Each structure stands twice: as C-alpha cells, then as structure tokens.
Copies of this chain bind each other. A is one copy, B any other.
C-alpha cells in the first residue's frame, strides 16, 4: 500500500503527503455528503484512500491543528470535516503540507525571505518575470476549494489517487 519511494523527480511536483491529505479530505467529504454523517476512524479513511495508516495519522493531526477537520476521541471516535467543503481552500492545504507556493522565496507572502545574493530586489529580472507568472497562477489556485475537488463530476466518484 505504501508508495515506497517515488522520487519526486523534483520541484513543482506535489508531495505524496499532499496527495494523501487530499484523498483523506475527499473521503471525509464524501462521507459528510452521505445520509449518515458519522465520524470516520483513521482506519476507515486509510482503507478507503489507500494510505498507510500510521502516516495518515500524522497527516490528520496536522489537518486538525489547522482546523480543517475535527477529531472525536475515545471508543467511537473518528474524524469529520469541520467546515463546509467550499470553505476549505486548496491553497491553504498546499501551504500547510507542502510549504510556500511561490517559485522564489522573495515572492512569497507568508514565507518571504530576501535572496542572499540579491542586492537590488526591485531590479532583479528573474524576480520580475517570475512574479508575473506567479501572480497569474496564484489567482487560479487560490480560487480552488475542496468543493471543486468533490464536485469534479466524475464517472465513478473514485478517490483512487494521484
């Protein structure tokens, strides 16, 4: 079930962890949409999303700390979506799991950091060009929410994967 080591073959690629997180949210989202909105156990989510259980455990914890899901402890515990899917932005998820989205540190809002060897940021041509592309891209991705994922009218409503 574990994906082993599928070398990310580099930048721009979403991490495996992020894919697991998305799949987990899809499972929870589907469940919430059903008739019986009961909490799902980690085990159940792991099974339905083909995710290593112990790893998923960690991921759900992070999602909970970020307020995206809620947990119920004890005997008949489990996880539920806290917010409505439209209120779970994919961009926030990306930042949470995979870190800053910007192609350059010096373009990141939340994780800004001046580039060590850059003497004049305003005049940096690299920054300038990537900024334009980045802003356009950001608009696209900032508008995505879990609801878009869930809706995505698919033939078979599969969680399968990535």
Provide the bound-state CA to CA distance between A12 and B150, in Å.
24
Task: In the A-B complex, list the 4 residue pairs whose CB atoms are closest, starting with the nearest.
Answer: A10-B99, A118-B161, A123-B158, A125-B152
* Contact B129 A149, beta carbon cutoff 8 Å: yes
A contacts with B, residue count (CB < 8 A)? 64
> In the assembled complex, how far is the CB of residue A161 from the closest CB belonging to chain B, in whole angstroms?
3
Task: List B contacts of A156 (CB < 8 A).
Answer: 120, 123
Provide the bound-state CA to CA distance between A151 and B55, in Å.
48
Provide the bound-state CA to CA distance between A8 and B102, in Å.
11
Cβ of A83 within 8 Å of any chain B Cβ, yes or no, is: no
Query: What 0/1 pattern do residues 91 to 134 of A give for CB contact below 8 A with B?
Result: 00010001111111110000100011111111111111110010
Which A1-53 residues sit within 8 Å CB-CB of chain B? 1, 3-4, 6, 8-15, 19, 22-23, 26, 50
Provide the bound-state CA to CA distance between A160 and B120, in Å.
7
A139's nearest neighbour on chain B, judged by CB, is B136
* Contact A15 B9, beta carbon cutoff 8 Å: no
Cβ of A157 within 8 Å of any chain B Cβ, yes or no, is: yes
Provide the bound-state CA to CA distance between A124 and B12, in Å.
20
Assuming A3-B116, A115-B162, A140-B137, is B10 touching A155 (CB within 8 A)? no
